[in-house]
A and B are shown apart, each in its own frame.
Chain A
Amino acid sequence: MSDNSYTPDSKIGKWFNDRLPLLTLSKHLQDYPTPKNLNYWWTFGGILTFCLITQIVTGLILAMHYVAHADMAFESVEHIMRNVNYGWLIRYVHANGASMFFLAVYIHIFRSLYYGSYKSPREIIWILGMIIYLLMMMAAFMGYVLPWGQMSFWGATVITNLFSAIPLFGESITTWLWGGYAVGNPTLTRFFSLHYLIPFLILGLVVLHIWALHVPGNNNPIGIDLKKPSKDTVPFHPYIVIKDLFALLIFLIIFAFFVFYSPNILGHADNYIEADPMVTPAHIVPEWYLLPFYAILRAVPDKLLGVIAMFAALFVLIILPWLDTSKVRSAIFRPLYKQFYWFLVADVLILGYMGAMPAEGWYLLVARVATAYYFIHFLIILPVLGQKEKTLDVPQSITEPVLGGSANQSLAKEQKK
């Protein structure tokens, strides 16, 4: 980092900073040169940090009142909702916070896909992000089990049974996961323990994610490398801070609508029925943010292959930086990629919809086509497109197009020429 030479003004500050350079770090974060043409899709990093902290704080509080025992979990959640001071508010923030967290992370990921933020030299940032995403899904899944409603119980049963697809060891692995011969109290208590642990792992990875970001600096809508600091950059504070804050507040308004006016719309009614190992609900559906993967799982007719396909769907994301062979980062200069990008968005939305529908008839057929396309996009289209696509001219600096107004408009003009 270039600002190692920073010395605080005050004597105490200098004494402290010589021993633990927190002030240098703070100075670095404030001055961190950020491309000035970042649009609002770039504010989701800050929003996600907020989401993580919100989940940790509200989760910490819920753990003060929750009882992780199969006989008492459901009752203790009702206790939180009815008796604990503002317990209903804290639980609804936590439950809807998970959905908002995923909403933000999906926007964050798809922003990266659009502007090629995963490409060299930012592969490590991307991979760290994918690990965070994986951990988020684990945390969300285990958290959903804790209220010990019908969906909790049967969701846990279905997901843990995925591991029984593993040849030879499958059954012993599921028994090991459960701590019994079915999902039960030992499963609940270990899920609670892990659900408490994972957010802190995520927090650690987020620090690495940001550290890795601060080495090359932010990508930007044009996708070109910047000299920094330069006329193309602004210091993080106050420019980006205030912009992130503004976006966060808009996000919070939507968040608040869910929490206060439709707190249960993203959940399932069945989860307000206490877990009953004798009765399975009519439709077992995971939370909306896991639906695309669920659709892929069910699209494959073989149990083991279905599980493999689901994990492969994640794995192709991890190796994405090497699948996309194009030298140009931003989709703005890749007319063909831009089209395929939107096909992919539509494909994932379709997969999600199919994940919520019963796996039969037309639904299944569509889910299979969408699953196939998902893999075709990453494994065939992206590598080929990188070689064949004729990209547009990329400007030398941000300032160049900025002179004619905002970046995108002037580019549009250039394209017309």
Chain B
Amino acid sequence: MSDQKKTKRRDFIFTASYTLGAVGVGATVWPLIDQMNPDASERALASTEVDISGIERGQSITVLWRGKPVFIKRRTEEEINKARQVNLKELPDPEKDEDRAKNPEWLVMLGMCTHLGCVPLGNKGEYDGWFCPCHGSHYDTSGRIRKGPAPTNLEIPKYEFISNSTIKIG
């Protein structure tokens, strides 16, 4: 009888030690992993302000935001019309141009091909939008994928117009 009790108490101590030990190891490992996440100075650069006053119609600029290129394109009427007249059913990743460019004149999107992250070339490709030279993805004038291996449209980052001449990205 007392032997059984002893065994139980021993088991309890071992189990408790193991459990608590596992908790401690976990708590120790977390800082070692978390240190590789973006640090505080990196996180502080989350937003960037861009002056767009100098961009003519039909021109685009590329700025760096969080280490990634962002295309800011001031579209011509023709390009806007082309983007808005597309039948959504034809698209691999259906999305209205109205949703992608709230101010139709300005298209702001990440300049990274959604296939494997190359930077697409502007005013190229079969749809007069962007063309990714790495694996041949064609995007239209709204940055939507039309042909090629990329699965989704070019991503739209969070942005807002602070004034008529300034966009804040992020």
Contact = CB atoms under 8 A, between A and B. Distances in A.
Direct contact of A and B (CB under 8 A): yes
A84 B34 CA distance: 9
B85 interface: no
B32 A85 contact: no
Contacts of A87: 35, 39
Interface in A50-93: 57, 61, 64-65, 79, 82-87, 89-90
Contacts of B34: 85-86
Nearest to B31: A86
A83 B32 contact: no
B29 to A, nearest CB: 10
A79 B39 CA distance: 9
Interface string A294-311: 000000000000000000
B1 interface: no
B4 interface: no
Interface residues of B, number: 10
B36 interface: yes
B35 A83 contact: no
B35 A64 contact: yes
B26 to A, nearest CB: 14
Interface centre among A82, A83, A90 (most CB of B within 10 A): A83
Nearest to A60: B32
B7 interface: no
Given A89-B31, A90-B31, A64 B36 contact: yes
Nearest to A85: B34
Contacts of A57: 32
Contact of A90 (B35, B40, B42): B35
A61 B41 CA distance: 18
B40 to A, nearest CB: 4
Interface centre among B31, B34, B36, B40 (most CB of A within 10 A): B31
B35 A84 contact: yes
Interface string B2-43: 000000000000000000000000000001101111011110
B36 A82 contact: no
Q: In terms of DSSP, what is the predominant structure of the interface of chain A?
A: helix
Contacts of A85: 31, 34-35, 37, 39-40
A11 B34 CA distance: 40
A90 B32 contact: yes
A82 B36 CA distance: 14
Contacts of B31: 85-86, 89-90
Contacts of A90: 31-32, 35
B41 A86 contact: no
Nearest to B41: A83
Interface in B80-115: none
A89 B31 CA distance: 8
B36 A79 contact: no
B35 A79 contact: no
Contacts of B37: 85
B40 A83 contact: yes
B41 to A, nearest CB: 4
Interface string B135-151: 00000000000000000
A193 to B, nearest CB: 22
Nearest to B42: A83
Contacts of B32: 57, 61, 86, 90
A335 to B, nearest CB: 42
Nearest to B34: A85
Contacts of A83: 39-42
A397 to B, nearest CB: 30
Contacts of A82: 40-41
Nearest to A88: B31
A65 B39 CA distance: 10
A126 B34 CA distance: 40
A86 B35 contact: yes
Contacts of B39: 65, 79, 83-85, 87
A256 to B, nearest CB: 11
Nearest to B30: A86
A356 B69 CA distance: 55
B43 to A, nearest CB: 9
Nearest to B44: A83
A84 B39 CA distance: 5
A83 B40 CA distance: 5
A42 B37 CA distance: 40
A328 to B, nearest CB: 40
Interface in B107-139: none
A55 B154 CA distance: 44
A50 to B, nearest CB: 12
Contacts of B41: 79, 82-83
Interface in B31-81: 31-32, 34-37, 39-42
B31 to A, nearest CB: 4
A87 B41 CA distance: 13
4 closest pairs, A vs B, by CB?
Answer: A86-B31, A83-B40, A83-B39, A83-B41
Interface of B: 31-32, 34-37, 39-42
10 contacts: A61-B35, A65-B39, A79-B39, A82-B40, A83-B41, A86-B32, A86-B34, A86-B35, A87-B35, A89-B31
Interface of A: 57, 61, 64-65, 79, 82-87, 89-90
Given A65-B39, A79-B41, A83-B40, 7 more contacts: A61-B32, A82-B40, A82-B41, A84-B35, A85-B39, A86-B31, A87-B35
